[in-house]
Amino acid sequence: MAILLVDELTKRYRNGTLANDNLSLAVEPGEVYALLGPNGAGKTTLVRQVLGLLKPTSGRIHVDGVDVVADPKYARRAIGFLPQAQFAMEAIQVGELVYGIARLRGLDAGEARRRTDELLDELDLGPFRGTQLRSASGGIRRLAAFATAVVGHARFLVLDEPTNDVDPVRRQLLWSRLAAFRREGTTVLLVTHNLAEAERVIDRFAIIDHGRILREGTPAALRSLVTDRLRLEVTTTEAFGGAHPALQPDPATPGAYLFDHSDLAAVSAWVQAAHESGELVDFRIGPPTLDDIYTVTVGDPRREAVGAAK
Ligand code: ADP
């Protein structure tokens, strides 16, 4: 049985915004399932309904087979979650916060202390144990929130953008913790912009836009969508006169482009000429990344056709 079942879910806000549009998905026990999509795609709206914090306009959501639209408290008890919103308790210290939440989730004092120490150590938050939230950086607050989401040994975690604002070194620690959850069989629903980093810990992902799922599958299956493309990354100088028309810019990475295999000869000739004329100081042509699937699906002018085909 799926641990999370979302069936024909529609959410229309009072102001008329259609944030989730007849959306269905299932997350199996032990899966790490990622939701990816541009700002405003409807990811947080979906997450808030799964957590029982927001009522759907129509459709069904089951967690462990329990109808959480009818019983929203079940979802909040069963799921360890990291919301987008920040904490109200600004004066509390990072260590106290994690320990306090562990106790609230039912761990006894010894276990809560052990688990807090373990997590602070694993996320390299030890130096910030005594730091009050109000004087911690955005990234440290985010990591503290992550620690509170995972401290209670929930079997199912819902994490909304856990890596936002987190520095690169601690971001790697966070991904390692997620990889460990996967090995341990914890189910995770993860909202992330960072597919390249997420790739090694996710089992499946869905690309959402305008409240609908455009694509869903394993990283390997979705990679096959971009096998006819190549990726070009360039470092330009002030002399740069603009990219070859066959190059589709990657909106997420300045200086990165996608192009069709069939344009390789033309693009190579252009790169060579631009390099010789001093417009490019560096360039690299390689296979597409997982992020390029996102570019192709959401950033492509043919996107309307993808949506319309459903
Ligand atoms: P994402 O998490 O993918 O960025 P959201 O779920 O936050 O997307 O938002 C989806 C859409 O719903 C957006 O158009 C957003 O402006 C709108 N929206 C979000 N919250 C509300 C709200 N409380 N009232 C009205 N519209 C909202």
Q: Is the pLDDT of residue 54 over 60?
A: yes
- Paired residues of 188 in beta bridges: 32, 157
Separation of CA 209 and ligand 1 centre (Å)? 12
Work out which ligand 1 atom sits closest to the CA atom of 20.
Answer: 10
Separation of CA 278 and ligand 1 centre (Å)? 45
pLDDT given for residue 147 in this prediction:
93
- The helix or strand, by DSSP H or E, that contains position 82, with its residue range, turns out to be strand 79-82
pLDDT in tens, 142-190: 999 999 999 988 899 999 989 888 998 999 999 999 999 999 999 999 9
pLDDT given for residue 303 in this prediction:
42
Residue nearest to atom 13 of ligand 1 (CA): 40
Separation of CA 11 and ligand 1 centre (Å)? 10
Residue showing tokens 């300045």? 254
pLDDT given for residue 86 in this prediction:
60
Separation of CA 38 and ligand 1 centre (Å)? 11
pLDDT given for residue 308 in this prediction:
35
Relative orientation angle of helices 168-184 and 109-122, to the nearest 10 degrees: 130
Q: Is the pLDDT of residue 245 over 70?
A: yes
Determine the average pLDDT of the residues in 260-282. 95
Domain assignments of the chain as residue spans, ordered by start: 4-222, 227-287
Cβ partners under 8 Å of residue 116, min gap 6: 95, 98, 99, 102, 147, 151
Separation of CA 175 and ligand 1 centre (Å)? 27
CB 202 within 8 A of CB 33: yes
CB 291 within 8 A of CB 36: no
pLDDT given for residue 84 in this prediction:
63
Least confident of 111-115, 167-171, 222-226: 222-226
Separation of CA 198 and ligand 1 centre (Å)? 24
Separation of CA 211 and ligand 1 centre (Å)? 9
pLDDT in tens, 62-75: 999 999 999 999 99
Polymer length of the chain: 310
Work out which ligand 1 atom sits closest to the CA atom of 15.
Answer: 25
**What architecture is domain 4-222?**
3-Layer(aba) Sandwich (3.40)
Cα distance from N-terminal residue to C-terminal residue, the chain: 26
% of residues, the chain, pLDDT over 90: 67
- Provide residues with CB under 6 Å of ligand 1: 13, 15, 17, 19, 37, 39-45
pLDDT given for residue 199 in this prediction:
83
Work out which ligand 1 atom sits closest to the CA atom of 84.
Answer: 2
Q: Kindly report the average pLDDT of the chain as a whole number.
A: 89
- Which residue, 208, 160, 200, 196, is CA-closest to 183? 200
Least confident of 11-15, 32-36, 296-300: 296-300
Determine the average pLDDT of the residues in 231-238. 94
CB atoms within 10 A of CB 98: 27
pLDDT in tens, 248-258: 888 767 899 99
pTM for the model stands at 0.81
CB 286 within 8 A of CB 264: no
pLDDT in tens, 160-171: 989 888 998 999
CB 207 within 8 A of CB 193: no
Confidence of residue 292 (pLDDT cuts 50, 70, 90): confident
Q: In Å, how far from its chain's centre is CA 140?
A: 18
- Round the CA-based radius of gyration of the chain to a whole number and report it: 22
Pocket test of ligand 1: the residue of 17, 54, 164, 190 to mutate, having most ligand atoms within 8 Å of its CB, is 17
Determine the average pLDDT of the residues in 117-140. 94
d(CA 122, CA 179): 13
Separation of CA 201 and ligand 1 centre (Å)? 27
Residue nearest to atom 12 of ligand 1 (CA): 19
Residue nearest to atom 19 of ligand 1 (CA): 45
Pocket test of ligand 1: the residue of 11, 14, 23, 45 to mutate, having most ligand atoms within 8 Å of its CB, is 45
